[in-house]
Amino acid sequence: MFQPPDDFDSISNPFGNRSKKGRKPDEFSPEELKDVNPEELAYRKKELSRILLWLMGFGLGLGIIVAIIIAIALNKLGLTKRPHELEPKPVKQRQEKVEQIWIENLDKVLRQ
């Protein structure tokens, strides 16, 4: 009977039996482990841990830089101030000026 390759089986049925790639180290037979060099395995593990540490350091450094830039931008825009710390807007003065100008213009129109 025809049996599809492991890659095809894992694509069509992701919840099926695990392929050789997903097996635990205890499930390998001694014949499959003959070609594994312990020194090379230790070197690869050390190299991968070094790459992981570099990536974590880079991500942390980049995150700190972005956070500092955002904090500076928020302070410059005044978005970190509380409402009572903001300068009051002269809304009433503008309304009074508009009323005074309207009254002056009305007086001029009525005098003519």
pLDDT digits (tens, 9 = 90+) for 15-63: 555 555 566 767 777 777 777 788 888 999 999 999 999 999 999 999 9
Q: Residue 44 is encoded by which pair of tokens? A: 């690869």
- Nearest alpha carbon to residue 94 among 86, 83, 102, 105: 102
Whole-angstrom Cα distance, residue 42 to residue 13?
Answer: 34
Mapped onto helix, strand or coil, the DSSP state of residue 5 is coil
Q: Residue 84 has what pLDDT? A: 79
Dihedral Cα 88, 92, 98, 99, nearest 10 deg: -170
21 closest CA partner among 5, 38, 43, 40 = 5
Kindly compute the dihedral angle of the four CA atoms of residues 80, 83, 88, 91, in this order, to the nearest 10 degrees: 120
Question: Of residues 2 and 81, which shows the higher confidence score?
Answer: 81
What is the pLDDT, as a whole number, of residue 2? 54
pLDDT at 51: 97
Residue ranges of domains in the chain: 6-111
Residue 1 has pLDDT above 90, yes or no: no
**Residue 12 confidence class, pLDDT cut points 50, 70, 90:** low
pLDDT tens digits along 50-102: 999 999 999 999 999 999 999 999 999 988 888 777 777 665 555 566 667 76
DSSP-derived letter for residue 1 is -
Mean pLDDT (whole number) for 3-9? 54
